[in-house]
Chain A
Amino acid sequence: MTTRRDFIKISGIGISGLMAGGGAAYRAMAQTLNKEIGGHISDKRTPTYCEVCFWKCAGWVYKNDKGNIWKIAGNKEDYHCNGRFCPRGTGGVGMYYDEDRLKTPLIREGKRGSQYFRQATWEEALDKIADGMKKIAREHGPECIALFTHGSGGAYFGRLLKAFGSPNIAAPSYAQCRGPREVAFIATYGEGVDSPERTDIRDTRCLVLIGSHIGENMHNGQVQEMSDAIDKGASIITVDPRFSTAASKSKFWLPIKPATDLALLLAWIHIIIEEGWYDKEYVKKYTFGFEELKQHVKDMTPEWAYGITTIKPNIIRETAREMANAAPSVIIHPGRHVTWYGDDTQRLRAVAILNAILGSWGRRGGFYIPDKISVPDYPHPPYPKPQRTWREAFPGKFPLAGLALASGLCDATIPNASRDCSIKGWLVDGTNLIETLPNQKNTIEAIQSLDLLVVVDTMPMEITGWADVVLPECTYLERYDMIRTSPHRKPQIALRMPAAEPKYNTKPAEWMAKELAKRLNLEEYFAWNSMEDMLDWQLKQLGSSLEEMQRVGVKTFPREYDDLYFPDGEEISFNTNTGKIELYSTEFADAGFDPIPTYTAHEEPPDGFYRLNYGRGPAHTFSRTSNNANLTDIMDENVLWINPKVAREWGIKSGQKIWLKNQDGVVSQFPIKARVTERIRWDSVFMVHGFGHNDKRLTRCYGKGASDTSMITRVHTDPLMGGTGMRGNFVTFFFEPEKEEATL
């Protein structure tokens, strides 16, 4: 066997320079950031919580002696980060200093997508939006306006929309990300996993990751706890077609054939039951449907799964034993982005069931019982009752969806004769829907059917190019936002306050929503004088104050209940139909779905095509950070991981630029560099999500790498809850785009 040595400097001076040895090639880049900051260090600091991703770590923004924002560091009291920000949070300063920021309101001139805008005043822009909203409400009803949000602004625009009479408020984090997980865990335990996940990783003895690449996703607290677990000698089992960073820290790496995870899970359940390795007392006391489960998986042997997953039976047995030995301090991690193949809720049900039979839910080193404090809503009149909801656009479909579907709202925008009303207006806040929703053609068709598209963002993301009105939001470093409250081992709240005045002609989302409310006669829903007054009122209800929070940033409250885990021997009632942990889901059975998961084979790549897997890189959050100078310094483009055997067949060398074409003939707009590596199977390729930007206003990331979303034209929708399965797409390579396109 030949040994290959693959040496990569993942960040830092002269990525290619170091490999050549000596004389590093220094990149000559604009040094505006450094020049602008100037000054020396100081200790002046203000609290914030991060907006670079959804983990929302609390920290401090430091200024230098010139009064300029200098650096951001974690708040030691904060459970999300324990005083340590991740690279994106640390690099959050780059968001503030980005010279490509949206600087003033824009109104489109010319047809949609043509990118001709004129600068407008706030008055003019807001008037235009309010007039557009009123017109839609008059002609079609207020429900025909939808909000897509992925950020703090959702609180204000959501309030505005509810007051206006529309319940159509969606975050892509549900149907494009963790929705199936929540539905599966609610069906099993009567509770979701929530965010930050209630995984007790720091005390676990065995952590099982299935396609979850902790360490490449920088879900901060989890990365930290995984490191603590490694220190304490926990074993990690990683199931991934790619030798992920986590796989390299693992006792077992199971390079599974993509799309077969459910078979592996069922075989694990089978062997743990057959061998009697399950937690008999826990199963008896807390669960419902064990006999049905046992019967269901009786033929799902490791040998059966081997033929499907390519994981050898002895490895399936050994890893099952490893989990059982650690139980109940074992976590089969529910993952986060789980919308893969369309049967995702069922796969996550298998994850939930496996945890249940090992007795890890509610146990130390398994899943803890989180606690959260609720921040009182600022008083307002009752919201009007909407006449219609998004559900009516999908009669009889997705009965188990607990939240609105971003993809559903998008689909419900494309006019359809069977529907009495389609959505006519979109407010889009902090989410680049072009890169967020699969099937870009569909998204653009929906956009072209709109009467009004308003986009609120800090950066000229692709979605802003389609907008009628663009509202430039100031960054999180320049504004107050709602108090952060999230479930954790103890309830905590965190404050975000401005470290600097908004740059350019930008404004906080709260101000925009309030201004729109004035124009829509909904001011009474925004009755506070200022954010300071509102936050102070809220904080006083909790026994704190704005003054205190400005000083401490994070405040911890005692738990309402003492126990982080189920007390020994206590009777517990779960919020399910049977009051038990449902191994057999009565809810799914009632809704006409498999009460216990069943493996179904998924389509395989045609000859010469490879399954497109995508994921995260530690320095970036979706497409949100791709233009951030501090983070492009770490990673400025994505690359395509290709197995050396495949590369040899195609004659592809590392670093070579290649174009991609998917099963539907869609071609990548830009080429992507190949990374030929032993770290991936031969039947799939991998790239980090969020690159291949085609908006030229994003000067640092324009045309860098390829967009995975553009290749995701085929969507496998989860019939239970509408999640958009995105990993059933296959790509092939070509080298000369012009010729190839001519043959299409």
Chain B
Amino acid sequence: MRYAMAVDTKKCVGCSDCVVACQTENNVPIGYCRDWVVEVTNGTYPQLEIEIRSERCNHCDNAPCVRCCPTGASHFSDGGIVLVKEKKCIGCGACIASCPYDARYPHPEGYVDKCTFCLHRVKKGLQPACVAVCPTKCMYFGDLDDPKSDVSVILKKRKWKTLIPEAGTKPELYFLI
């Protein structure tokens, strides 16, 4: 099993609903977030393009955060989801520094927090909160080992990219372009 997510930059309108839904679903404190939206504009008036991306932890197969964690708090869970054991985390921040995607933040309660792909929901057969709420249905989540999963199907059908592939982290967050 290998969980992955694909985000369609052609449909995303950058409304940040994914951010709000994640925040309420996971009780992320106000002022912090586990996912965010990036908008990149290229060109000069009037020849312009925008790419809008809903970003989060890439749940890398070769995750630097897991490798550099001194306590084993950062670990791989079901289907390769990268998680943090709050009780084991000493808040040293090594993982924050090592993440090329800037996906982790220090929770005010002293541990490092990040996207879990809503594993608590996934276990119940639900989609992650960001995927479930998205008004444009621009996000696809599922098991890449299952060729019939939404994410496998869309990645076969569409052109995609990952972020900073040169970092060698083997990210599992794909952007449809």
Taking CB atoms, residues of chain A closer than 8 Å to B105 are 13, 24, 26
B40 touches A86 (CB 8 A): no
**Which residues between 74 and 116 of chain B lie within 8 Å of chain A, taking CB atoms?**
97, 102, 105-106, 108
A90 pairs with B20, CB closer than 8 A: yes
Whether A248 contacts B49 by the Cβ 8 Å rule is yes
Let me know if B23 and A630 touch, CB within 8 A: yes
Stretch at the interface among A29-37, A131-139, A371-379, A531-539: A29-37
Residue B16 at the chain A interface, CB threshold 8 Å: yes
Residues A11 and B16 in contact in the complex (CB < 8 Å), given A6-B41, A29-B30: yes
Say if the beta carbon of A253 comes within 8 Å of chain B: yes
C-alpha gap A108/B96 in the complex (Å): 52
Q: Choose the segment among B31-39, B65-73, B140-148, B165-173 that binds chain A (4+ C-beta atoms closer than 8 Å).
A: B31-39
Contacts of A230 on B, CB cut-off 8 Å? 10-11
For residue A679, CB closer than 8 A to chain B, the reply is: yes
Residues of B contacting A: mostly: mixed
On chain A, the residues within 8 Å of B37 by CB distance are 9-12
A438 interface contact, C-beta 8 A = no
A635 / chain B contacts, CB cutoff of 8 Å:
16
In the complex, the answer to whether A243 meets B20 with C-beta atoms within 8 Å is no
| Chain B 1-28 interface 0/1 with A at a Cβ cutoff of 8 Å (1 = within) | 0000000001101111101110111011
Q: Say yes or no: B15 contacts A679, CB within 8 Å.
A: no
Partner of A618, one of B15, B33, B35: B15
* B-binding segment of A69-77, A291-299, A467-475, A490-498: A69-77
What is the bound-complex CA distance between A566 and B6, given in angstroms?
40
Contact of A421 with B by CB under 8 A: no
B133 on the A face (CB < 8 A): yes
Q: Indicate which residue in B24, B41, B138 contacts A630 across the interface (CB closer than 8 Å).
A: B24
Residue in A1, A10, A81, A630 whose beta carbon sits within 8 Å of that of B44 in the complex? A1
Inter-subunit contact B44/A629 (CB<8 Å): no
The reply on B134 being an interface residue by CB < 8 A is yes
CA A26 to CA B36, docked complex, whole Å? 13
Nearest to A21 among chain B residues (CB) is B102
Interface residues on B, range: 35 or more
Q: Say whether A667 faces chain B, with CB atoms less than 8 Å apart.
A: no
Whether A84 and B39, one on each chain, are in contact in the complex, defined by CB atoms closer than 8 angstroms, is: no
Of A28, A37, A91, the residue contacting B27 (CB under 8 A) is A37
**Given A10-B39, A255-B45, A630-B20: A30 and B135 within 8 A (CB)?**
no
* A85 contacts chain B at the CB level, 8 A cutoff: yes
The CA of A85 and the CA of B24, in the complex, are separated in Å by 13
A3→B43 contact, CB < 8 A: yes
Asked whether B136 is an interface residue with its Cβ less than 8 Å from the other chain, the reply is: yes
Q: A679 to B32: give the CA distance in the assembly, Å.
A: 29
* Cβ-neighbour of B43 out of A4, A81, A83, A224 (below 8 A): A4
- Interface assignment of B50: CB less than 8 Å from any CB of chain A: yes
A220–B28 touching, CB < 8 Å: no
Let me know if A744 is at the binding interface, CB within 8 A.
no
Q: Which residues of A contact B31 (CB under 8 A)?
A: 26-29, 31, 633
Given the known interface contacts A9-B38, A12-B36, the answer about A31 and B30 at a Cβ–Cβ threshold of 8 Å is yes
Instruction: Mark interface residues in A31-49 (1 if CB within 8 Å of B CB, else 0).
Output: 1111001000100000000
Q: Does chain B have a CB within 8 A of A218?
A: yes
* Contact across chains for B24 and A90 when beta carbons are under 8 A apart: yes
Residues of A within 8 A of B38 (CB): 7-10, 18
Q: Select A22's contact among B17, B49, B97, B132, beta carbons within 8 Å.
A: B97
Of the candidates A1, A32, A228, A679, which one forms a contact with B41 in the assembled complex, judged by CB atoms under 8 Å apart?
A679
Q: Which of B14, B27, B36 contacts A34 (CB 8 A)?
A: B27
Complex: A165 Cα to B155 Cα, angstroms: 64
Chain B residues closer than 8 Å to A7, beta-carbon distance: 38-41
Question: Are A91 and B20 in contact, CB atoms less than 8 angstroms apart?
Answer: yes
- Tell me if B48 and A34 are in contact (CB < 8 A): no
Q: State how many angstroms separate the Cβ of A4 from the closest Cβ of chain B.
A: 6
Chain A 247-264: CB-based contact to B (< 8 A → 1; otherwise 0): 011000101000000000
Report if A514 contacts B (CB, 8 A). Answer: no
Q: In the assembled complex, which residues on chain A have CB atoms less than 8 Å from the CB atom of B24? A: 70-72, 90-91, 93, 630
B135 in contact with A227 (CB, 8 Å): yes
Contact status of A3 and B50, CB under 8 A, knowing A227-B136, A631-B20: no
List residues of chain B with CB within 8 A of the CB of A9: 36-39
A223 contacts the other chain (Cβ, under 8 Å)?
yes
Tell me, yes or no, whether B46 is within 8 Å of chain A by CB.
yes
C-alpha gap A70/B42 in the complex (Å): 39
What are the residues of chain A within 8 A of B161 when measuring CB–CB? none
Q: Counting CB contacts under 8 A, is A5 at the interface?
A: yes
User: Measured between C-beta atoms, what is the minimum distance from A181 to chain B in Å?
Assistant: 23
**Contact mask A207-246 → B, CB, 8 Å, 1/0?**
0000000011010100110111011000000000001011
Instruction: Give the distance in Å from the alpha carbon of A71 to the alpha carbon of B21 in the complex.
Output: 8
Complex CA–CA separation, A29 to B33 (angstroms): 13
One digit per residue, 1 when the CB lies within 8 angstroms of any chain B CB and 0 when it does not, for chain A 176-216 equals 00000000000000000000000000000000000000011
Q: Tell me whether B137 and A679 are in contact (CB under 8 A).
A: no
Tell whether B29 is near chain A: CB-to-CB under 8 Å: yes
Instruction: Find chain B residues with CB under 8 A from A93 CB.
Output: 24
Cα distance A551–B83 when bound, in Å?
36
B52 is an interface residue with CB less than 8 A from chain A: yes
B159 contacts chain A at the CB level, 8 A cutoff:
no
Residue picked from A3, A41, A228, A243, most chain B C-beta under 10 Å: A243
- Complex contact B14–A10 (CB within 8 A): yes
- Rounded to whole angstroms, the CA-CA distance of A592 and B113 in the bound complex is 67
Q: From residue B157, how far is it (CB to closest CB) to chain A in Å?
A: 11
In the bound complex, what is the Cα–Cα distance between A640 and B130 (angstroms)?
29
Interface check A411, CB cutoff 8 A: no
Inter-chain contact A245/B20, CB cutoff 8 Å: no
The answer, among A3, A84, A680, for a CB contact under 8 Å with B133, is: A84
Least CB distance, A435 to chain B, in whole angstroms: 22
Cβ A679 vs Cβ B48 within 8 A: yes
User: Does the CB pair B137–A224 fall under 8 Å?
Assistant: yes
A residues in contact with B41, CB < 8 Å? 4-8, 243, 677-679
- Is B135 touching A84 in the complex (CB atoms < 8 A)? yes
> Which residue of chain A is the closest to B28 with respect to CB atoms?
A34
Contact A85 B133 (CB under 8 A): yes
Tell me, yes or no, whether A717 is within 8 Å of chain B by CB.
no
Q: Which of B14, B28, B30 contacts A30 (CB 8 A)?
A: B30
Q: How many angstroms between the C-alpha atoms of A37 and B105 in the bound complex?
A: 21
Asked if A159 is an interface residue, CB under 8 A from chain B, the answer is no
Q: Does A681 contact B (CB under 8 A)?
A: yes
Rounded to whole angstroms, the CA-CA distance of A70 and B21 in the bound complex is: 11
Checking A5, A70, A84 against B40 with a beta-carbon cut-off of 8 angstroms, the contacting residue is: A5
**Is A415 in contact with chain B by the CB < 8 A criterion?**
no
The reply to whether B13 and A216 form a contact with Cβ atoms under 8 Å apart is: yes
Q: Is the CB of A215 within 8 A of B15?
A: yes
Residue of B nearest to A643 (CB): B45
Question: CB-CB contacts of A674-692 with B at 8 A, as 1s and 0s?
Answer: 0001111100000000000
Closest Cβ–Cβ distance, residue B106 to chain A (whole Å): 7
Q: Is the CB of B29 within 8 A of A34?
A: yes
What are 25 A-B interface contacts by the 8 Å CB criterion? A1-B47, A3-B44, A4-B44, A6-B42, A9-B39, A12-B35, A12-B36, A13-B33, A17-B102, A26-B32, A26-B106, A27-B31, A31-B31, A33-B30, A70-B27, A87-B20, A215-B14, A215-B15, A224-B136, A227-B13, A227-B137, A248-B48, A248-B49, A630-B30, A634-B20
16 additional contacts, CB 8 Å, given A7-B41, A228-B137, A245-B50? A3-B43, A9-B38, A11-B33, A11-B37, A12-B33, A12-B36, A32-B30, A71-B21, A84-B132, A90-B21, A218-B15, A218-B17, A230-B11, A248-B48, A249-B10, A255-B46
Question: When A and B form their complex, which 5 residue pairs have the shortest distance between CB atoms, in order from nearest?
Answer: A12-B36, A215-B13, A29-B31, A618-B15, A227-B136
